[in-house]
Amino acid sequence: MSFYFNTNNSINPIDTLVQMFKQSESSKLVKPVEMQKNLIQTKNATLSDLKTKLNSLFSIVKDLSLTGVKSNFQIKTAEISNPEIFSAVAESYATPANHIIFVQQLAKEDTVISSKFSKDGNEILNSEGAGVKTIRVTINGVSTDLNVDVASGDTNSTILNKIASAINSTLSEVIASVVNDTPTTARLVIKSKNTGSQYAISLSDVSGNLLANIGLDLNVISNRIASTDTSGGYLYTDVNLLDAKLTVDGINIVRGSNKISDVISGITIELKKVQNPGDTPVSLTIKTDASKVREKIESFINAYNDLIKFINDKTKTTTDGARSVFSGDYTLVKLKSELRLKISNPVAGEIAFLSDLGIKINADGSLSIVDSAKLDKLISTDITKVESLFNSSDGIAVRLKEFINPFVQIGGVVDQRINSGKEQIKRLDERIKSLNNLIDERAEDLRRQFAQLQSLYNAFVRQQAMVQQLTQILVP
């Protein structure tokens, strides 16, 4: 057998042989470990996806397990025969009923308007004179004194703006502004920020007669004289005009706001428009929001099916024997089995099974609505019984919530599996590093051996050449 090193090749034959050795050893020693690592990484990624799907279902069943005023089965809707008159929002604890409402008056912000003045004129200054003037503003039972510094040369517009500035910088329940009703004239408008007679505005002079000189004297304020196109006064002459007035089921109601939440328990009404005498009263019907309840149930079915399909895909073995990443895994197989038990075991009550709602458990473990009309009818007519199937002490949502919680909580079943996988990956990485080091050491030993053989071969070639030369000399 001949052994020959091609010394004419530009590629070092020893490097080629060493590289072939390393590839062979890596394939035999490292690749199986890397495949094991990749499998664990795939399993960990799958477990993370599993936890996401479990969390989605857990979030839904947690909501469906709520009871009392927080129950998702007691969602109410407010139907209004004429929504132009008012809007309404019903809380879950509102009692289903029909109410008749007639809106007689909307609540309003109290508004006081000064007399009309030429913007560039000096009538106010001429009547009042310069100096610090003190006015008093009373609203919601609280009186506040404000100082206004009237300077020599101030125009009517300047003084009105100084009054507005003093009010706005101090009071939070009143806003004042100067309105230019024409290009050359202006008026001061003082307005409550809140509606209702509780926030009626009262004004008075404390030192000086600044208010009186802008058309808001004691007589105007005390008697709530109406403002005109030129004279000062109130926009609403009767304090009672500031309150909202309506009848609810024939009962007279007076409130200081157009947003009313204390008349019918669980219902907030917001008035929009006054009705005229002879108009048809508006009906307000409170009932279970069947569409929202159905959406909740459908969300549960979708999340449950998404989880079951995922488990099926990751644990299946195909007809040709191909195995999924968790095929035969006890935890996932047991998880699916327990999930089925939680939704299939009977619940105490007239509605004991999902099938009573028209919901079927399919052969693959998924759920489907097979009788939509039945489900809708029960939601509309027997919502309490439907609710009990899910959120009673042993209801389906309660069972699932308690069962899934250990899987999704931090440090729970799934996290433990993932962390175990991470530890295995860490050990396998160390094993791969160790094997690669070992292969490198063996490769270097082999390189030295090949180098020695190369040296011997080169010496042999030289000796052979010398023998050939001697033979040529000695043999004529």
In whole angstroms, give the CA distance from residue 294 to residue 300: 10
Q: Hey, which CATH number is domain 109-241, 3.60.90, 2.60.40, 2.30.30, 3.40.50?
A: 2.60.40
DSSP 92-127: TTPPPEEEEEEEEE---EEEEE---EETT--HHHHH
CB-CB neighbours of 407 under 10 Å: 19
The residues spanned by each domain of the chain are: 76-107+243-288, 109-241
Rounded Cα distance, 459 and 274, in Å: 117
Distance, in Å, from the CA atom of 414 to the CA atom of 253, rounded to the nearest integer, reads 58
What residues have CB less than 8 Å from 212, skipping those under 6 apart?
205, 218
What does the pLDDT profile of the chain (476 residues) look like in tens digits?
Answer: 344 445 455 566 777 877 887 788 878 888 888 888 888 888 889 899 999 999 999 999 999 999 988 999 999 999 999 999 999 999 989 999 999 999 999 999 999 999 999 999 999 999 999 999 999 999 999 999 999 999 999 999 999 999 999 999 999 999 999 999 999 999 999 999 999 999 999 999 999 999 999 999 999 999 999 999 999 999 999 999 999 999 999 999 999 999 999 999 999 999 999 999 999 999 999 999 999 999 999 999 999 999 999 999 988 876 666 777 888 888 889 999 999 999 999 999 999 999 999 999 999 999 999 999 999 999 999 999 999 999 999 999 999 999 999 999 999 898 899 899 889 989 988 888 888 888 888 878 777 877 777 777 778 888 888 877 777 777 65
Q: Which residues, in sequence order, are bridge partners of residue 220?
A: none
Is the pTM for the entire model greater than 0.85? no
Distance (Å, rounded) from C-alpha 163 to C-alpha 189?
A: 10
Query: For residue 56, which amino acid is it?
Result: S
Residue 138: exposed, middle, or buried by beta-carbon count in 10 A (0-12, 13-18, 19+)?
Answer: middle
DSSP helix/strand/coil, 90: strand
Task: Determine the Cα–Cα distance for residues 67 and 267; give it in Å rounded to an integer.
Answer: 19
